[in-house]
Structure 1
Amino acid sequence: MKVAFDVMGSDYGSLPAIAAALQVVNEFKNVNIVLVGDEAQIKGNLQTLLKNKPMPSSLTIKGTTQVITMNDGPLAGIRMTNSSMSQAIQLVKKNEVDGILTSGSTAAYLGTCHFLLGEIKGIKRPAFMPIMPTLIKDQQVVLLDVGANIENTVDDLISFALMAHIYCQTIQSIFRPKIGLLNIGTEENKGPEVTKATYAKLKALTQSNGKLSFLNFHGNIEPRNVLSGEVDIIICDGYSGNIVLKSVEGMASLLFTLIKNGYKKNIFTKFVGLLSLGIFKNIKTTFDYKNTGGAQLIGINGIAFKAHGSSDKKSYYSTLKLLIRAIEQDVTNKITKQIEALS
Structure 2
Amino acid sequence: MKIIVDAMGGDNAPKEVVLGALEAVKNLAVDVVLVGNEEKIRYYMATPVPKIEVVNAAEVIGNDEPPVAAIRTKKDASIPKGLKLLKEGRGNAMVSAGSTGALMAGGLFILGRFEGVDRPAIATLVPTRKKPTLLLDIGANSDSKPRNLVQFAVMGSVYSREILGVENPRVGLLNIGVEEEKGNSAVKTAYGLLRELKDINFGGNVEARDFFDGHFDVVVCDGFVGNIFLKTVEGFGSFLLDLLKTEVKGKFTYSLGALLIKPALKAVKARMDYSEYGGAMFLGLDGILIKCHGSSDRKAIFNGIKLAKQFAESNVHLKLKKALLDIEGEISS
When the two structures are superposed, what TM-score results if normalisation uses the length of structure 1? 0.89
Q: Take 2:233 and 2:313, find their aligned partners in 1: how far apart are those partners?
A: 29
What is the identity percentage for the equivalent residue pairs of Structure 1 and Structure 2?
Answer: 34
Instruction: Report deviation, 1:261.
Output: 4.0
Instruction: Report deviation, 1:5.
Output: 0.6
Q: Take 2:127 and 2:313, find their aligned partners in 1: how far apart are those partners?
A: 22
Contact 2:155–2:323 (CA under 8 A) maintained in structure 1 = no
1:81 alignment counterpart: 75
1:195 aligns with 2:187: yes
Which residues of 2 match residues 99-114 of structure 1 at below 5 A? Answer: 99-114=93-108
**Secondary structure at 1:198 match in 2:** helix
Contact 2:172–2:203 (CA under 8 A) maintained in structure 1 = yes
Which residues of 2 match residues 59-74 of structure 1 at below 5 A? Answer: 59-70=52-63, 71-74=65-68
When the two structures are superposed, what TM-score results if normalisation uses the length of structure 2? 0.92
2:331 alignment counterpart: none
Alignment RMSD (CA, Å): 1.8
1:183 aligns with 2:168: no
Instruction: Report deviation, 1:9.
Output: 4.0
Q: Take 1:254 and 1:12, find their aligned partners in 2: how far apart are those partners?
A: 23
Which residues of 2 match residues 141-160 of structure 1 at below 5 A? Answer: 141-160=133-152
Q: Residue 325 and residue 114 in structure 1: after superposition, are their counterparts in 2 closer, same or farther (change >3 A)?
A: same
Query: What amino acid maps onto 1:182 in structure 2?
Result: L
1:303 aligns with 2:292: no
Which residues of 2 match residues 1-343 of structure 1 at below 5 A? Answer: 1-28=1-28, 30-47=29-46, 54-70=47-63, 71-136=65-130, 139-203=131-195, 205=196, 212-343=197-328
Give the total of aligned pairs: 327
Q: Take 1:18 and 1:64, find their aligned partners in 2: how far apart are those partners?
A: 15
Q: Take 1:240 and 1:338, find their aligned partners in 2: how far apart are those partners?
A: 25
Contact 2:154–2:323 (CA under 8 A) maintained in structure 1 = no
Contact 1:127–1:298 (CA under 8 A) maintained in structure 2 = yes
- 5+ residue gaps, structure 2, are 329-333
Contact 1:253–1:288 (CA under 8 A) maintained in structure 2 = no
Query: What amino acid maps onto 1:68 in structure 2?
Result: I
Q: Take 1:314 and 1:227, find their aligned partners in 2: how far apart are those partners?
A: 25
**Secondary structure at 1:226 match in 2:** helix
1:51 alignment counterpart: none
Contact 2:153–2:220 (CA under 8 A) maintained in structure 1 = yes
Q: Residue 255 and residue 24 in structure 1: after superposition, are their counterparts in 2 closer, same or farther (change >3 A)?
A: farther
Instruction: Please list every run of at least 4 consecutive aligned residues from structure 1 whose deviation after the TM superposition is greater than 4 angstroms.
Output: none
1:208 alignment counterpart: none
Could you tell which deviates more after superposition, 238-247 or 327-336? 327-336
Q: Residue 333 and residue 125 in structure 1: after superposition, are their counterparts in 2 closer, same or farther (change >3 A)?
A: same
Contact 1:3–1:100 (CA under 8 A) maintained in structure 2 = yes
Instruction: Report deviation, 1:217.
Output: 1.3
Query: What amino acid maps onto 2:44 in structure 1?
Result: N
Contact 1:120–1:299 (CA under 8 A) maintained in structure 2 = yes
**Secondary structure at 2:213 match in 1:** coil
Query: What amino acid maps onto 2:40 in structure 1?
Result: Q
Instruction: Report deviation, 1:162.
Output: 0.5
